[in-house]
Structure 1
Amino acid sequence: MPLETVFSFVLVTSLLVMSPGPNGVLIAKTTPTSGRAAAFSNVGGFVTAFFLHGTLSILGISVLLVHSAEAFFAVKMLGAAYLFWIGLKALRDAFSGKGIAPSVAPARRRRTLTRAYGEGFLTNALNPKVSMFYLAAFPQFIPAGDGAISAAFSLVAVHSIINVLWFSSLIVLLSRMTKAARNGAFQRWLKGVTGLVFMGFGLKLATLRP
């Protein structure tokens, strides 16, 4: 695979990863309320979903999601419903004070690492926008001929590494603010903002056209 192709892919995926979206919102919510380990579990879920979408793209299933109106609509609405649901839950917690840790307690919540991993995975796996990226942009970077499949999975790995580096930096930055962020009023504000943003992403996703 030409180095030029790799650099181009790195540029495109870096912009994609760093652009505001549900992943960043989820990390911003998880780090101060559940700690670094849970946030890194979120990232693990992101990476798994990237490999899922990459595999579907390589196998051609993503084509079905874009060219089949029924399949696209089903996946789109499922993803929108998930984002809207976790946004609604965050808003509920913000108003009720449920899950708000005392200011003197460690940054803990009733969220296991498995649950955090699942949240990260579903945030990406149920988002047709990611499928559309892997359908529209991803194939353009895959060289034709022998070794195409291994090259494709190498690019997915590059995308995953960029994702891990970016969100790990974000987690470290947010965790340094954890003591201040443990404040109950701050957590309520964070949950409220998170809820509104996630619900907004859900509504935006529901109106997305292929």
Structure 2
Amino acid sequence: MENFYLFVVMCILLILLPGPDTAIATKNTLVVGRTGGFKTMFGTCCALLIHTLAAVIGLSAIIVKSALLFSVFKYVGAVYLVYLGAKTLWALKNKKTTPEINAESKYEGKSCFKQGFLTNLLNPKVAVFFLTFLPQFVNAGSDTFIPFLTMGITYTILTAVWFLLYIYLLNQISAFMKKPRTQRVMEGITGTILIGFGLKLALEKTQH
């Protein structure tokens, strides 16, 4: 394995870029609270570990090389993101009283892990990332099992650390973030962003 520290720096820069995982973590932290954000983060990290194992044993390569499989993952992931965004906007529209909001938050809390997990798992870009980014830090002709596994776990840990900090910061300014007007604005923005990510993913051309 080559340039591990450079790999870590590159991972940090990539993780800091906003994406669907950040959007869904933001939504669940605002709606459910810190616990919802942490459950979402755990779901995302579990999906990243699956992507790591897939890259190690070559399943990601099969998905990337097969136009059909790649398209299936792409469109299923896109539909799921649009569904989450539409669901967020619909829930925002139907909020009427505080008890209903609390009941909804309790329900949403149960699905935070699933939302984080599926948002990441059904994103074919993550599989492409693992197969195009990781090999750049492996010696040519060497065994890739341990290096891929190490880098995948490292990326997952760095992702978890970033989300822990991000969710903590959101929670620290919760007094402002939990104002009804602020929540409506933020949920509206994140719902729109999720739909945007879904449409962007669906409309991107598959390259093989």
Select 1:59's aligned residue among 48, 57, 60. Answer: 57
Secondary structure of the equivalent of 2:108?
coil
> Cα 1:101–1:205, aligned 2, differ >3 Å: closer, same or farther?
farther
Select 1:152's aligned residue among 136, 148, 154. Answer: 148
Structure 2 Cα separation of the partners of residues 26 and 101 of structure 1: 22
Structure 1 Cα separation of the partners of residues 48 and 71 of structure 2: 21
Select 1:79's aligned residue among 63, 77, 80. Answer: 77
Which is worse superposed, 177-186 or 196-205?
177-186
Aligned-residue offset at 1:101: 4.5
1:1-210 pair list within 5 angstroms: 1-2=1-2, 5-97=3-95, 101=98, 108-113=105-110, 115-143=111-139, 144-145=141-142, 148-209=144-205, 210=207
> Cα 1:41–1:180, aligned 2, differ >3 Å: closer, same or farther?
same
- TM-score, normalising length: structure 1: 0.88
Which is worse superposed, 162-171 or 58-67?
58-67
Structure 1 Cα separation of the partners of residues 193 and 186 of structure 2: 10
Aligned-residue offset at 1:108: 4.4
What RMSD over aligned residues (CA atoms) do the two structures have, in Å? 2.3
- How many residues of Structure 1 are paired with residues of Structure 2 in the alignment? 204
Structure 2 Cα separation of the partners of residues 24 and 195 of structure 1: 12
Secondary structure of the equivalent of 1:112?
helix
Aligned-residue offset at 1:206: 0.3
Aligned-residue offset at 1:81: 0.2
Structure 1 Cα separation of the partners of residues 135 and 53 of structure 2: 12
* Equivalent AA in structure 2 for residue 30 of structure 1: N
Uncovered stretches (5+) of structure 1, i.e. residues with no partner: none
Uncovered stretches (5+) of structure 2, i.e. residues with no partner: none
Aligned-residue offset at 1:33: 1.6
Structure 2 Cα separation of the partners of residues 150 and 87 of structure 1: 38
Structure 2 Cα separation of the partners of residues 34 and 13 of structure 1: 28
* Equivalent AA in structure 2 for residue 165 of structure 1: V
Structure 1 Cα separation of the partners of residues 58 and 48 of structure 2: 15
- Asked whether the equivalents of residues 31 and 38 of structure 1 are also in contact (C-alpha less than 8 Å), the reply is yes
Structure 2 Cα separation of the partners of residues 101 and 116 of structure 1: 20
- Asked whether the equivalents of residues 93 and 191 of structure 1 are also in contact (C-alpha less than 8 Å), the reply is no
Aligned-residue offset at 1:109: 3.6
Cα-to-partner distance string for 1:169-198 (whole Å, 9 max, x where unaligned): 111110012122222222222221111100
Aligned-residue offset at 1:145: 3.5
Structure 1 Cα separation of the partners of residues 142 and 131 of structure 2: 19
Structure 2 Cα separation of the partners of residues 70 and 200 of structure 1: 23
Secondary structure of the equivalent of 1:111?
helix
* Equivalent AA in structure 1 for residue 16 of structure 2: M
Structure 2 Cα separation of the partners of residues 108 and 201 of structure 1: 24
- TM-score, normalising length: structure 2: 0.89
